[in-house]
Structure 1
Amino acid sequence: MSAPSTDRTTSRWRDWFRRAVDPECRLTLPEVRDLVADADRLLRECPGQTPAWAERPAPDVPSIRAILRGSQPMAAALGGALATLSAPGVFEDSVQLRLMAVLAHDLGVGGPGASRFDAFHRIMTAHRLTQEALPRPQLPESRVPDELFAAPAVVIALSRRPDLFTAELLGWDQQLRSRGMLAPWAWLRDADVNGDWSRLDLASTADGTPGLDKEVADCIAAADLGLERVAWGATAAECLLRQWDLALWRWTDSSSDPREAMVDLMSRRAREAVVYHDKSRLDGRSIQSWFAEARQDPRDFVEALGTSRYVRPGQPERSILLTKLTEFGSPMFRVFSPEDREIIARWILWLDEQRTTAEPTATPEVPERSAPLDAHLAAMADPAADAESPQSIREAYVALQGRHCPPAVLRFADEYVDYWLSLARRSMDRHPFPLPAELPSPGDLREWLLAAHDKHSDTIDLKHNAQHLPSREEVIDSTVQLSPLTLIDGSWLMGYTDVSFASTRVGYSLFETYWDELGNGDIEINHPKLYRDVLAGMDIDLPPTHSPEFASSDHLRDEAFELPVYWLAIGRYPVSRQPEVLGLNLAMELSGVGGSYRTARQAFRAYGFPTIFVDIHNTIDNVSTGHSAWAAEAIESYLESARAFGAEPADLEALWMRVRTGFASLDPDRTKRFGFTGSRIGESLRRRLKRGAGSDDDADPAPLRGVAHERRLYAFAAAHNQPLSGPWRRDPGAAPTNSTRTLR
Structure 2
Amino acid sequence: MFLLSIGQFPRTYLAELLGVNLGWHFSGLNAVGPILVRKGQHCHSSTKDDTCIQYWDRSKLGCELALDAAIKTLAERSNRDRDTFFFRICVGALIITNIWKEWASSADCRTSNCVDAIKTDMIRILCQKAPHAIGYHGNRLIDGAKIDSLLSSENFRPAEILERLANSEFIVPGKPEDSLFYTNLVRWGGPMHLVFSPTELETISAWILTLSSASETHETDAPEISCTDNNPSFDGSTDGMMHLKSEFVRRSKENFSKCSIREIYHYLLNIEQYPEILPYAEQFAYNRLSRSMAALNSHIRPIPSQHYCPEILEYWVSTQHREQVNAYRSLKGEPSITKEAFINSSVQLAPLILIDGAWLQGMLIQNCIHSEYGRILFQILYEETGEGDVTRHHANVYRELLHEMGIKLPAIETREFIQWTRLLDSSFEIPVFWLSVSCFPRHFMPEILGLNLAVELAGVGGPYMQARDTLRHFKLPTLFVDIHLAADNISQGHTAKSLLAIKLYMDQIAAREGPHNLDSTWRRIWSGVRSTLPQPSLPWLISNTISARLRGKKADELPRIFSF
Classify the TM-score, shorter chain: 0.7 to 0.9
The 3-state SS of whatever aligns with 2:498 is: helix
Equivalent runs, 1:346-425 vs 2, <5 Å: 347=208, 351=212, 388-389=255-256, 391-404=259-272, 406-425=274-293
**Aligned partners of 1:235, 1:296: CA distance in 2, in Å?**
47
Match of 1:135 in 2: none
TM-score (ref. length: structure 2): 0.75
Match of 2:106 in 1: 247
In the TM superposition, residue 221 of structure 1 has moved relative to its aligned partner by 2.6
In the TM superposition, residue 422 of structure 1 has moved relative to its aligned partner by 3.1
Match of 2:401 in 1: 534
Equivalent runs, 1:86-105 vs 2, <5 Å: none
In the TM superposition, residue 670 of structure 1 has moved relative to its aligned partner by 6.2
Equivalent runs, 1:69-468 vs 2, <5 Å: 153-181=1-29, 199=52, 205=58, 210-219=63-72, 221-222=74-75, 224=77, 226-254=85-113, 264-265=121-122, 267-273=124-130, 275=134, 276-277=136-137, 279-288=139-148, 290-291=150-151, 298=158, 300-311=160-171, 321=181, 331-333=191-193, 335=195, 347=208, 351=212, 388-389=255-256, 391-404=259-272, 406-430=274-298, 432-462=300-330
Structure 2 vs 1, CA of residues 227 and 452 (structure 1 numbering), >3 Å: closer, same or farther? same
The 3-state SS of whatever aligns with 1:240 is: helix
Structure 2 vs 1, CA of residues 487 and 281 (structure 1 numbering), >3 Å: closer, same or farther? same
**Aligned partners of 2:76, 2:409: CA distance in 1, in Å?**
23
In the TM superposition, residue 469 of structure 1 has moved relative to its aligned partner by 2.2
- Give CA-to-partner distance per residue, 1:318-373, whole Å, 9 cap, x none: 7654677567776445545677667767737964699999xxxxxxxxxxxxxxxx
- Give CA-to-partner distance per residue, 1:258-303, whole Å, 9 cap, x none: x975774464144424514463333443334545699997554444
Amino acid at match of 1:657: R
TM-score (ref. length: structure 1): 0.59
In the TM superposition, residue 178 of structure 1 has moved relative to its aligned partner by 2.4
Checking the alignment, whether the CA contact within 8 Å between 1:311 and 1:321 is kept in structure 2 is yes
Checking the alignment, whether the CA contact within 8 Å between 2:171 and 2:179 is kept in structure 1 is yes
**Aligned partners of 1:452, 1:439: CA distance in 2, in Å?**
19
Amino acid at match of 1:655: T
Match of 1:522 in 2: 389
Amino acid at match of 1:287: I
Structure 2 vs 1, CA of residues 303 and 182 (structure 1 numbering), >3 Å: closer, same or farther? farther
**Aligned partners of 1:504, 1:281: CA distance in 2, in Å?**
46
In the TM superposition, residue 492 of structure 1 has moved relative to its aligned partner by 0.8
Amino acid at match of 1:544: A
Match of 1:566 in 2: 433
In the TM superposition, residue 577 of structure 1 has moved relative to its aligned partner by 0.8
- Give CA-to-partner distance per residue, 1:419-473, whole Å, 9 cap, x none: 222332344444644441333323442232111111112223336x756521222
Match of 1:692 in 2: none
- Give CA-to-partner distance per residue, 1:383-433, whole Å, 9 cap, x none: xx9993262111112111135363542232122112222332344444644
In the TM superposition, residue 625 of structure 1 has moved relative to its aligned partner by 0.9
Structure 2 vs 1, CA of residues 191 and 617 (structure 1 numbering), >3 Å: closer, same or farther? closer
Q: Percent identity?
A: 29
Match of 1:640 in 2: 507
**Aligned partners of 1:618, 1:187: CA distance in 2, in Å?**
41
Structure 2 vs 1, CA of residues 203 and 176 (structure 1 numbering), >3 Å: closer, same or farther? farther
Aligned residue pairs, count:
502
Q: Which runs of 5+ in 1 are unaligned?
A: 1-152, 358-384, 673-679, 685-728
Match of 1:380 in 2: none
Q: Which runs of 5+ in 2 are unaligned?
A: 43-47, 78-83, 219-250, 543-553
**Aligned partners of 1:190, 1:648: CA distance in 2, in Å?**
36
Query: Match for 1:509 among 376, 388, 394?
Result: 376
**Aligned partners of 1:427, 1:191: CA distance in 2, in Å?**
53
Equivalent runs, 1:625-636 vs 2, <5 Å: 625-636=492-503
Amino acid at match of 1:239: N
**Aligned partners of 2:324, 2:430: CA distance in 1, in Å?**
22
Equivalent runs, 1:709-720 vs 2, <5 Å: none
In the TM superposition, residue 656 of structure 1 has moved relative to its aligned partner by 0.8
